[in-house]
Every structure is written in structure tokens, then in C-alpha cells.
Amino acid sequence: MKFDTPAGRNPIDELKVVGKPTDRIDGPFKTTGRAQYAYDWYDPKSKAAYGYVIGATIAKGRINAMDLSAAKAAPGILAIVTAENAGPLDKGKLNAAKLLGGPEIEHYHQAIALVVAETFEQARAAAALVRVDYTETKGAFDLAAVKDTGKPEKLASAPSDTSIGDFEGAFSAAPIQLDATYTTPDHAHAMMEPHASIASWDGDSLTVWTSNQMIDWGTRDLALTLRMPKEKVRLISPFVGGGFGGKLFLRSEAVMAALGARAAKRPVKVALTRPLTFNNTVHRPATIQRIRLGATPDGTITAIGHESWSGNLPGGKPEAAVQQTRLLYAGANRMTQTRLAMLDLPEGNSMRAPGEAPGLMVLEIAMDEMAERIGIDPVEFRIRNDTQVDPEKPERRFSQRSLVECLRQGAAKFGWDKRIAKPGQVHEGRWLVGMGVASAFRNNINVKSGARVRLDDRGVVTVETDMTDIGTGSYTIIGQTAAEMMGLTLDKVVVRLGDSAFPVSSGSGGQFGANSSTSGVYAACVKLREAVARALGVNSDDAVFTDGYVRSGNRSVPLADAAKAGELVAEDTIEFGGDLSKTYQQSTFGAHFVEVGVDTSTAEIRVRRMLAVCAAGRILNPKSARSQVIGGMTMGVGAALMEELAVDTRRGFFVNHDLAGYEVPVHADIPHQEVVFLDETDPISSPMKAKGVGELGICGVAAAVANAVYNATGIRVRDYPVTLDKLIDQMPDAA
């Protein structure tokens, strides 16, 4: 099905099931332990062996020799896989880092061997007996030290640099100016479920039970890596215990499991240890960002410039931290630049809201700093510089843009009028109290997505698609879509996900999964409705599907009757018209409000209140959407106050590579979080009239926290995370 513009009666608009706050249909499986994650799968006919990945202990250099003799003689050992005996692999451009290293080493903890044994303990013990002789070479591990070597690098679908008007001239002439540099550190995907896979061969066909967000990408890349036909590879991933972008791509554990299973001639299961999850897989790269703003005394931005530097392995991409600045605020004279420097750290890649999350961490502090210089309320400053068109391409209007409404509703609900603009004025016992605000922005992306739907003679509809549920509620919103389209209650719908044997979906990532995958289900259900109408001899154009019946004219027939002669099956794919993007800019918007307390003696920061107001098209399931937003808000608190991968700039690795050293928020760190969704539909976006919301929740939160800390203390921190050591020497006298 082609989707260009909305047309005709849309069954989704009935909103009998879609749009309702619905419990997750997969909830009972997860709460009772019946949900089988990647490492849980087993074949009773063929007991799985265990693989243990050995990671390189240098960051850059070469393996001279590997002594495997002691490991091979250890109890229970079935096979040891290295680059020398793995067979021909495609180590080309699939990933910035080779998934099996040797003899060249590209980063610390790059996988260099897999030890396969009868038990996990035997594999781990034997891995400790492997002796590796390296030649270590000098690497680049410090972004600040190599920043000036950075070169322009195109973003995913946009140029590295943009320039509109005369930025330098306008900035120089601006009566009020801000020129500030900020830094954000490397961040880890600290998901609960590690990267895990079980591989099993049947002749020349491979099945991998894995934890992966994008089934079709993974199937394609694994087939390419192993140099085998894609149709011979099957990936299965019905439940994913968190991904955040770290499981978008094929990673070493899946490749190693496949190689280990081939060598051991039996299924092999591999899970990366937590240190390898941090150093072997991808992370959010650190950035250095410079913001320049010029404005008039009435608060009109006349010049806006944003430059960003980040690092990555050769072949990697930069952090696209400038992309929201190209769209968020008006300003006639504009400039953005992205520079990529080569670093020999583990690969930097997508992490929840890549680009916008670290970009807004910086831009939204700068907006607060500028508002203070002008002497204008920071909410009003943002509203005053709203735009309804793409500032770089004024011929493109936003399909929906409710940023001003988000800011106004949020300010009223949060009690923003009680905020005292002068910092350090509100005391509650030993606490200094402050409020902060930030805009939220994330582009809306539409991705081609397919599904298959089946109707049986019980009136049950089964949906099959390779879409994944990474804890986001995909099962439920897909079930709701099919139920709405076919006039059923949710208990009459079965949803099957995460299998490459099913039609290719959008997958889960980039905030595009919910809108795109449900649109694919919508398209398949349109075809199924047509098949039902033919089977029942009614006109599909005026047929009404409701309460398990199909009504047309004076006829009312049970839906199940259409499948009496046999199951009806329909399959289709939604494809989004490319011309829409020339006319409309599709984005999501929000506003974050935060109140913090800062201890006058210790500079400890406690988040006291949080509010998010979101405008993201039709909200398909407010219950799971709220869960997604508060998850993003929680990650934003982590980014603001604690999360930082500490880099050993001598040896080139992340030192705090476990959940003891890498701090993330826990329940005690997070207060009650309130989420408001504006009543909005976007017919330009899709037949669902929805947009993504899962990444919008993190965008801007860290800046809102940092701005609240400033309002509480008068101390402006431009180097994330905002930890107490950066405050305590400057804290105002408690008296």
C-alpha cells in the first residue's frame, strides 16, 4: 500500500481499541517468567553448548601469536574459534569495527576468540588459559586532544554543514551575544538483557535466537558476514530485554555463536559479559559543542550557530548533535557544522535519540543562558522564537508543530509562574530549590513496514510481522490496530513478532517503530477486509466491521463466517511517499519541566518534580506511551547527573565497564513523573495519524535538570554530568 495523503474513511478513527490505555498483552508472560528471551531458548533434542568470548586486552595493535594448547586440554572443551580457523568472513563495511578481530586489533575488548565447552564455567575457565602475545601501537583515545583533526562528515541523510544568510556578520552585529562551549561524555547502553544469541545449524541453514531490534538488518548482515545466502539464515527475537539502539546492528555475540555452533557441530549459546557489553558493543560518543547565539533586546534570535566535534573508529559516523538546531528555532542567519575525529575507542553509534539527546543537552542550556542575558523568561524566549516552517527551507511547513502549546500548558501545570528568576533565592531547610525548562524535539521518521494477517473460522485474527518488542509495547499496539481494523476485541487477536520468517517490518529504532509497524498492519488489514467482503459477498467500500460482525446494508454476518471455507490470509506493506518530505517537515515536540533541590553543605542534587508535555500525533496506547516517556525522562536524569563512561586515555578503554562503576538512576533518584499528551493527530504522518514518542522523552531532559541546578545555586555547569564536585567549591553560603 502506498501512503501519500489521507483519503476516505479510516477505520482507525473509530478509536474503539486504538488510543485506549491498554495493559500490555505480553505482560503476563514477562511477570510469570514465560517470556523466552534469547538466552532462554533450548532444543530438547540437541543440548546447547556454551561459548565464552575473549576480548582483546589492547586497544590498538596486532596479535603476534595465540597459545591455545592449555585451553584445548581443559575439561569439557569442544572448540575454540579464532580469526585463523573461522573460515572466510566478510569483514568489510558492515560495521565500523570487525566483529572478529585478528591479527589486527581495532579497539579494546574486540572479540578475538570464542571458547566453546559443555558448561559456561568450563568455557570461562578455559578462556583464562588462552595466552595472547600482542604488539601494541599508539592510539588516539582523547577527543579533546584530537578535536582539531576532525573533518566534515555527512550525517545519516543530511549534510555535515549548513549555512543560511550571513551568520558571522549577524552574530558580530547582534546587541546581545552568547559564545559558549559545552561537553557531553560517552554513554553506555546499560540495558538489563546483555547481548545474547543461540545459534544452531541444520545442514547449511542457520537459525539464531538473538536479542536484536532490527530482524531484517540482522539477517542480511549475518548472511553477508558468513558469506551465505540470506534465505539460509533465520533470526528469531520475540522478546528483547532493552536495546536503546545498541541492538540495532549485528554484533559479535551472534557471529561468534554461529561460528562456534559450526565448529562444535551443535547449538551454542553466547552472552556477552557486562564489560564486553560496554567495550565490545556500541556506545553514545562524547561531544564537544560550541553554541553561538545573537539576539535583539526584545528576545528575537538573529544569529544561531552550532558546531559539534565527536570521535569514532575509521569508517564510523559522527554524533549528529546539530540536527535539532537546524529545525527547532527561528533565526534568519544560521550555521551548523559537524566534525568527526578518528578515535581508537570502541565503536560509537546509535543510542536513544542519537543526535538530539546530546545536542539538546547543550542547545537548551545555551537558550537559558541567552534568556538570562536578555532579561526574558526562558519559556517566553523559546515561544518568541517559534517557527511554523523549516528555518533552512521555508517552503516546507511542519505537518504539526505544537511546541508553543507544550510550553504554555507545561508552565501552567508546573507552576512556572512561582519560579524566581534570580538564582539561589529559594531555601527549604538545608536545600536550595530551583526550576528548569527545556524544549523537546525529535524528528518523525517513516519506514517501509509489512505484515501478514490471518482470519480463522473462530473469528480470531493472527498478525505476523518481524517487528520487535524491546519493552516498548509493540505487541499491544499492533494487536490494538488489528482489533480496530477488523472490528474485534483485543482478546480475539494473536500477535506473533520477531521472526525473519515473517514479513519485513520497520523494526524498532529511531522512534519510527510504533507508527510504521502499525501502519503496515493497517495495510495488511485493509487487504484482509477486502478478502472478507468478497467471501461474504458484500461491498467492501461500505462494509462496517464492528463487534465481531460485518455489516453491509441490511445484512449483519459474523466475521468468522468469512473463513468457514478456509483460513483467509492477507499480506501488504506500507510505503510512504517520498514527495511528502518536500512539502512537509515531520517532527515531534515537547517541553520538560524539572524542579531540583541542592544540598547547601554537600552539593548533592535531588530531582524533586518532573513534567513532560508531548505533542506526537495520535497516541496509540497512552499507558505504554507514558511508560516510554518516563523511561526517557529517567535516562535524561542519568545523563544530567551521573552517566559517564570514564576513558583511560593511556590504554584506550572504558574503565567503569560494569553496573557497579557506571552509575544509572535507581528508584530513589526519581520522583513521580507526570506526562501530558496533547490531543493531536497528524494525517500527513501515516494512516494511523501517529508519530513516535519513545525518544522524545529523553530529549531536553538533561538540560532542564542542569537549568534547574543553575536556578537553585547560580552555578552554571557546561561539562556533563553535573556532579557535586563541580558545584561544591562555588556553593553559596548556607546562611
- String of b and e for 73-92 (b: at least 16 CB within 10 Å)? ebeebbbbbbbeebeebeee
> DSSP character for 76?
T
Q: Is 695 a catalytic residue?
A: yes
What the block records as the C-alpha cell of 334 is: 544560521
- Going by C-alpha positions, the residue among 280, 348, 315 that lies closest to residue 57 is 280
Which residues make beta-bridge pairs with 389? Answer: 397
User: Which residue stretches of 14-60 are H helix?
Assistant: 27-31
What the block records as the C-alpha cell of 510 is: 529511531
Q: Which residue has the cell 578518528?
A: 342
What the block records as the C-alpha cell of 91 is: 569483514
Distance CA 512, CA 447 (A): 7
Other Cβ atoms within 10 Å of 625 Cβ, number = 26
> DSSP character for 500?
T
- Going by C-alpha positions, the residue among 713, 657, 692 that lies closest to residue 188 is 657
Contact call for residues 504 and 219 (beta carbons, < 8 A): no
Pairing of strands 233-236, 187-188: unpaired
Other Cβ atoms within 10 Å of 169 Cβ, number = 12
Contact call for residues 383 and 298 (beta carbons, < 8 A): no
Contact call for residues 228 and 210 (beta carbons, < 8 A): no
Residue count (the chain): 735
* CB proximity list for 63: less than 8 A, separation 6 or greater: 56, 101, 102, 103, 105, 112, 132, 133, 134
Pairing of strands 176-184, 287-295: antiparallel
> How many helices and strands, by DSSP H and E, does the chain display?
16, 36
Other Cβ atoms within 10 Å of 129 Cβ, number = 16
Other Cβ atoms within 10 Å of 623 Cβ, number = 14
At residue 699, what are phi and psi to the nearest 5 degrees?
A: -70, 115
From the candidates 193, 307, 575, 695, which is the catalytic residue? 695
Q: Which helix (H) or strand (E) segment is 374 a member of?
A: helix 356-374
At residue 729, what are phi and psi to the nearest 5 degrees?
A: -70, -15
Rounded (10°) angle between helices 356-374 and 622-641: 70
Which residues make beta-bridge pairs with 584? Answer: 397
- Going by C-alpha positions, the residue among 449, 402, 725 that lies closest to residue 590 is 402
> DSSP character for 43?
B
Distance CA 171, CA 189 (A): 38
What the block records as the C-alpha cell of 727 is: 558545584
Q: How far is CA 361 from CA 430, 437, 538, in A?
A: 28, 12, 56
Q: Which helix (H) or strand (E) segment is 201 a member of?
A: strand 196-202
Contact call for residues 576 and 446 (beta carbons, < 8 A): yes
> DSSP character for 286?
P
Contact call for residues 65 and 147 (beta carbons, < 8 A): no
Distance CA 261, CA 255 (A): 10
Contact call for residues 211 and 197 (beta carbons, < 8 A): yes
Q: Which helix (H) or strand (E) segment is 112 a member of?
A: strand 111-117
Distance CA 637, CA 498 (A): 31
Give the residue numbers marked as catalytic.
Answer: 695
